[in-house]
Amino acid sequence: MSNGAGARQRDPGPPYVVRWHPDAEAERDASWPAPEKVAMNNAVEKLRAAGPRLPYPHSSAVQGDAGKGFRELRPRSGRSRWRPIYRQVTPDTFVIFAVGPEAEIDKGSFDAAVGRAAKRFDELELD
């Protein structure tokens, strides 16, 4: 199966699988201040529990053509500086492809994270 081919199939319901792309893990670990660890884990757990129904302010669509199909996790209901960029790749699986700063704090770096996420998604091979 190629990337995202199964994302439109029947929703299996929770719990969902949330995986980190290896490069996104490295970005997370490099940019993850200690006080944000709990907030980031909580946001991922909310995604596991709610999947595609995770509402704003915990998740938001990435704006612009480069971000089409991607969403951002918003730890601490958007009060965190960090944004994991993710996408649903199968009916039950989400992959976090990149981590960047919140767009209002550093739009250039956020846009770069979205670009990295899109490139990693394009290279993704699913079994």
- Give me the tens of pLDDT residue by residue for the chain, a chain 127 residues long: 345 444 457 888 889 999 999 999 888 877 667 778 788 889 999 999 999 999 999 999 999 888 899 999 999 998 988 899 999 999 999 999 999 999 999 999 999 999 999 999 999 876 5
Q: Domain map of the chain by residue range?
A: 17-123
- Amino acid type, 121: F
Residue indicated by tokens 């958007």: 78
83 with 103: CB under 8 angstroms?
yes
DSSP 8-state class, residue 16: P
Cα 91 to its chain centre, rounded Å, is 15
Residue indicated by tokens 């670990």: 29
What's the predicted TM-score (pTM) here? 0.87
CATH for 17-123, options being 3.40.50.300, 3.30.2310.20, 3.40.50.2000, 3.90.1150.10 = 3.30.2310.20
Edge to edge, what strands does the sheet with 59-61 contain?
A: 17-20, 93-101, 82-90, 71-73, 59-61
